[in-house]
A and B are shown apart, each in its own frame.
Chain A
């Protein structure tokens, strides 16, 4: 069933507002720099949250043994392609295409 506009618009507004806040905050911070603790925490958070997002992404998969093998192989392919080519976007696309082909063919 499709999402209704009445449910979608408040969600869109909340996401856009949260996103906009992170973009506009530097404008204010540029005038009043944060203290050392806040600065250290802010510099630590982005990397820590990427770890969380990766676990979140993995938790969305509930494959069988064969599916797990394809998942790990695709992630290994992305890792190897990054190491060899040094291009993160290319390796990302390569990994996605390889995963989709493997999942839909086998």
Chain B
């Protein structure tokens, strides 16, 4: 086996944990989407052109409830604000390798970021095509999981109870990711506290009020924290 194929094999092996995670969470998304009245084709199209796990789960009740597209746009920007940081922190990576740069930025999910950031020193990632192939593989896993879930959801009479827990578990996992890092913990806990307080406003106003208050609090507190940490 040539060195090139051995390196691509390493790439596939590196993506296997993401395969198991994306397939199972993708299946849960497909099931939840179809259960909420979104057709299997729509669910697959959503995974193809949006490709943002947390946002897709959140958007299911938005679509089913007929939320205004303008509010969906604002919600999408706020929920995916972390992607801006991922792109920024991998700036050199995107400057030095321009192969499929726009697609790689689009496909830069939490897990792809984690793999790219964690393997920056490994020789296989230096191949010009490697980051693009890795991103496309992860995207394919997500679409495959969604298709399987949507296919299942369209064929079984009644969905098993408790599927919405996949969303809660995914958010809990992201929350734990943030809490495990000392520099992010205060922000995660602040977001949790503000949102918990906003629950008293009821389901309709909970998300908009939480987002506005979190952005305002971050604008005020974050620069002070950054100075203290420096």
Contacts and interface: CB of A to CB of B under 8 A. Distances in A.
A24 B38 contact: no
A11 to B, nearest CB: 5
A25 B69 CA distance: 21
A87 interface: yes
B126 interface: no
Interface residues of B, number: 104
Interface of A is mostly: helix
A50 B174 contact: yes
Interface of B is mostly: helix
Contact of B85 (A30, A42, A50): A42
Interface string A69-103: 00100110011001000011111110110011001
B45 interface: yes
A16 B59 CA distance: 11
Interface string B77-97: 111111111111001001100
A65 interface: no
Contact of A44 (B75, B79, B187): B187
B210 to A, nearest CB: 5
Contacts of B91: 26, 30
A78 B54 contact: no
Given A18-B80, A48-B214, A90-B17, A12 B45 contact: yes
Interface in B134-183: 160-178, 181
A27 B174 CA distance: 25
B88 A100 contact: no
Contact of B105 (A18, A27, A78, A93): A27
Interface stretch (B1-9, B21-29, B117-125): B21-29
B13 interface: no
